[in-house]
Chains A and B, each alone.
Chain A
Amino acid sequence: MLELVGAHLQTESQAEFDHQFAPGQITVVLGANQSGKTNLCRLVAGQNSRARGQVLLDGIDLKTVDPRKRPVSMVYQAFVNYPNLTVAQNIASPLLARRGQGMMDKKTVAARVDELAHKLQIHSLLSRLPHELSGGQQQRLAIARALAKQAPVLLLDEPLVNLDFKLREALEIELRELLRETNTIVIYTSSDPRDAFTLGDEVLLLAAGEKLQAGAPLDVYLRPQSLAAMQLMADPGVNKFERDSRICALRPEHLRTVTDTGIDMTFDMQVSAFETNGSESFVHGEVEGAQWVMRCDGMLRISPGQHLKIGASASDVVQF
């Protein structure tokens, strides 16, 4: 169990919060840029940052642990590997550092390197140098090295954000398999709510250094406690309106054209933009003075400038 006590992530905010990360679970820390995600990682890893707070692992304050023996490994957003060491030497590096403390013999190290290289599918590149690898391979290497340490806490700070779309999806699925196998406390930061659903056993929502909400991704999705929390879990953003002087919100995917069934409330939309990728379409427009987005399956025949009657089921409305 990893515990944050009185975590203060952003100098600009006064917010402090506590949170507990359970072993064997992947916690996706979701937040926009500058929300304190990286600072959270740096706080846990014990690296210089503006973040303050106590970090307890199974009740032991990590501040009292020698930074070199800190039971934490980390994968950075930039692909960071030792540029002058081969792939094999890179993976072996944390193992060899511990070998100095008399923990591993050469054979075990070699076997472990081989195993990890196979898991991350870089075993054919073992004698290459990092700069000879593609971006995706470099990040695979960084992940392999982080796993090699077998630390009880694994931090992944937006590890896939610098990769292109297809690579990201493929690696994400692999990561889920890899990380589920272990009994590690995994903290994975991201700004994409989809990561929370594909990877997360738990999601922690951060905004400006403040903990908005935490819980199982689906719970947080269905029962957001604040508009900001709902915004964070929605891609694209949510649609706001007012009923009986209460703020209400609807997700883009819950809006439909009025020809659909199951509608018990309707809105008038002045369409301003329309985008589609074939499998889904987004209609942007103005409703009751606010900008709204509607997500539909497949293609729609809609052009900007037209009036559109849209509707939703009252049960999908979230009230605050």
Chain B
Amino acid sequence: MKTNMSRWILCGYLVYLLLPLYWLVSMALRSNAEIAGEFSVLPASPTWLNFAEIFSNPVWYEAFANSLTYVGLNTLLSLSVAIPAAYVFSRYRFLGDKQLFFWLLTNRMAPPAVFLLPFFQLYSAIGLFDTPLAIALAHCLFTVPLAVWILEGFFSGVPTELDEMARLDGHSFLYFFFRVFLPINRGALGVTLFFCFMFSWVELLLARTLSGAATKPIAVVMTRTVSASGMDWGVLAAAGVLTVVPGILVVWFVRKDLVKGFALGRVS
């Protein structure tokens, strides 16, 4: 009886969570006429036309490509900067290390909007405006501190004796770092990648301001798609569905590491 009860509650919660997602998918499979018409739970005549529109219209698929470009660039930049930084913070004591570490975090305390104006003006001045790199760099201001903080916690959990042992064994630092240290921190890298990707993927304000015609991100295109014939609900919904997909893919690929990572899995 009791297990039945909790099962129902759990199912109810799941439905509550998935309902908006289902409605998005179901809208994406209907024509505009059907969306505006009678209420029905299932699409009466499912159609792929909305998706076909996105994959054939350059405005849509280029927006996806733009978004993926700067998000990928951001994730790559963040990780390649944060990994060495986190390693140094976890392994070395130097003048002002604690202050520097804390200062990194303070970057995250300001709302992104604060940086809109300086970024916009600066990028315009040096000709970086309307390039994927502009948005990726702007997002780095938030993702790098986050990545350093997450990684430092994990790296500090690895005993320094391991570094020393590798050196005594006669291994070069690069061998140790890439063949031992990074592989045993795979969970940490997965979690960090997830957070960087997600931040950059859903961030709208900076992306919208720093992008022009050439780099318009998908989220921006979605908020601006009003045609002469009114809102194209179906296509918009299909774009929404496709926007969710990369997030799901990232989670899928790092899911094993995520579980370890969120358990703050100290290396055993």
Q: Which residues of B contact A101 (CB under 8 A)?
A: 170
**When the two chains form their complex, are residues A80 and B184 in contact, meaning their CB atoms are under 8 A apart?**
no
* Stretch of A92-100, A197-205, A243-251, A284-292 at the chain-chain interface: A92-100
Say yes or no: B170 contacts A80, CB within 8 Å: no
Q: Which residues of A contact B161 (CB under 8 A)?
A: 76, 78, 80
Nearest CB of chain B from residue A89's CB, rounded to whole Å? 10
Interface: A262 (CB within 8 A): no
Decide if B180 touches A97 in the complex (CB within 8 Å).
no
Contact check, B159 vs A78: say whether CB atoms are below 8 A apart.
Answer: yes
A98 to B171, CA, bound (A): 8
Q: Are B164 and A98 in contact (CB under 8 A)?
A: no
Contact (Cβ within 8 A) B268 A80: no
Specify which chain A residues have a CB less than 8 angstroms from the CB of B164 in the assembled complex: 45, 47, 74
A: residues with CB less than 8 A from B are 45, 47, 67-70, 72-74, 76, 78, 80, 82-85, 93-94, 97-98, 101, 131, 145, 149
B126 interface contact, C-beta 8 A: no
- Cβ of B38 within 8 Å of any chain A Cβ, yes or no, is no
Bound-complex Cα distance A101 to B159 (A):
28
**In the complex, which residues of chain A have a beta carbon less than 8 angstroms from the beta carbon of B167?**
67-68
Q: Which residues of B contact A149 (CB under 8 A)?
A: 168-170
A83 engages B169 (CB within 8 Å): no
Q: Nearest Cβ distance between residue A129 and chain B, in whole angstroms? A: 10
CB pair A97 B268 closer than 8 Å = no
Closest residue of chain A to B164, judged by CB? A47
The CA of A159 and the CA of B130, in the complex, are separated in Å by 60
Note all chain B residues with C-beta closer than 8 A to A131.
Answer: 268
> Which of the four size classes fits the interface of chain B?
10 to 19
In the bound complex, how far is the Cα of B80 from the Cα of A172, in angstroms? 46
Cβ contact within 8 Å between A94 and B159: no
Cβ contact within 8 Å between A80 and B165: yes
Determine how close the nearest CB of chain A comes to the CB of B178; give it in whole angstroms. Answer: 11
B56 at the interface (CB under 8 A from A): no
Q: How many A-B residue pairs have CB under 8 A?
A: 51
Chain A contact residues: helix, strand, loop or mixed: mixed
Selected from A70, A82, A83, the residue in CB contact (under 8 A) with B168 is: A70
The answer to whether B172 has its CB under 8 Å from any CB of chain A is yes
B171 and A68 contact, CB distance less than 8 A: yes
Question: In whole angstroms, how far apart are the Cα atoms of A74 and B268 in the complex?
Answer: 20
Q: Do residues A97 and B183 form an inter-chain contact, with CB atoms below 8 A?
A: no
Known: A78-B161, A80-B159, A82-B162. A145 touches B169 (CB 8 A): yes
Q: Does B122 contact A (CB under 8 A)?
A: no
User: Once bound together, how far apart are the Cα atoms of A73 and B164, in whole Å?
Assistant: 11
**Residues of B near any A CB (own CB < 8 A):** 159, 161-162, 164-172, 175, 180, 183-184, 267-268
Q: Which residue of A lies closest to B173 (CB)?
A: A68
- A276 shortest CB reach to chain B, Å: 39
Q: Is the CB of B180 within 8 A of A82?
A: yes
Seed contacts A68-B172, A73-B169, A145-B169; 12 additional CB < 8 Å A-B pairs = A45-B164, A80-B159, A84-B183, A93-B171, A94-B168, A94-B170, A97-B169, A97-B170, A97-B175, A101-B170, A131-B268, A149-B169
Min CB gap B156→A, angstroms: 15
Determine whether the beta carbon of B171 is less than 8 Å from that of A84. Answer: no
In the bound complex, residues from chain A placing their C-beta under 8 Å from that of B169 are 73, 93-94, 97, 145, 149
Residues of A close to B165: CB separation below 8 A: 74, 76, 80
Partner of A68, one of B159, B170, B180, B267: B170
- Distance in angstroms between the alpha carbons of A47 and B168 in the assembled complex: 9
Query: What separation, in Å, do the CA atoms of A78 and B267 have in the docked complex?
Result: 13
A contact residues around B168 at 8 Å (CB): 45, 67, 70, 72-74, 94, 149
Interface centre among B162, B164, B172 (most CB of A within 10 A): B164
User: Using Cβ atoms and an 8 Å threshold, which residues of chain B touch A67?
Assistant: 167-168
Query: Can you list 12 A-B contacts with CB-CB less than 8 angstroms, sorted by A residue number?
Result: A67-B167, A73-B168, A76-B165, A80-B161, A83-B184, A84-B183, A94-B168, A97-B171, A98-B170, A131-B268, A149-B168, A149-B170
Q: Please indicate which of the listed interface residues A72, A82, A145 has the most CB atoms of chain B within 10 Å of its own CB.
A: A82
A72 to B167, CA, bound (A): 11
- Which A residues touch B267, using CB under 8 A? 83
Closest to B268 in A: A131
**What is the minimal beta-carbon distance from B132 to any residue of chain A, in angstroms?**
35
Within the complex, the shortest CB–CB distance from B93 to chain A, in Å, comes to 10
Chain B proximity of A205: nearest CB distance (Å): 26
How far does the alpha carbon of A146 sit from the alpha carbon of B165 in the complex, in Å?
9
A131–B164 alpha-carbon span in the complex (Å): 20
- Of chain B, the residue at the smallest CB distance from A142 is B165
Give chain A residues whose Cβ lies under 8 Å from the Cβ of B159: 78, 80
In whole Å, how far is A270's beta carbon from the nearest beta carbon of chain B?
48
Q: Give the chain B neighbours of A47 by CB distance below 8 A.
A: 164
In the complex, A74 Cα to B169 Cα: how many Å?
Answer: 9
A81 shortest CB reach to chain B, Å: 8
A190 CA to B169 CA, complexed, in Å: 24
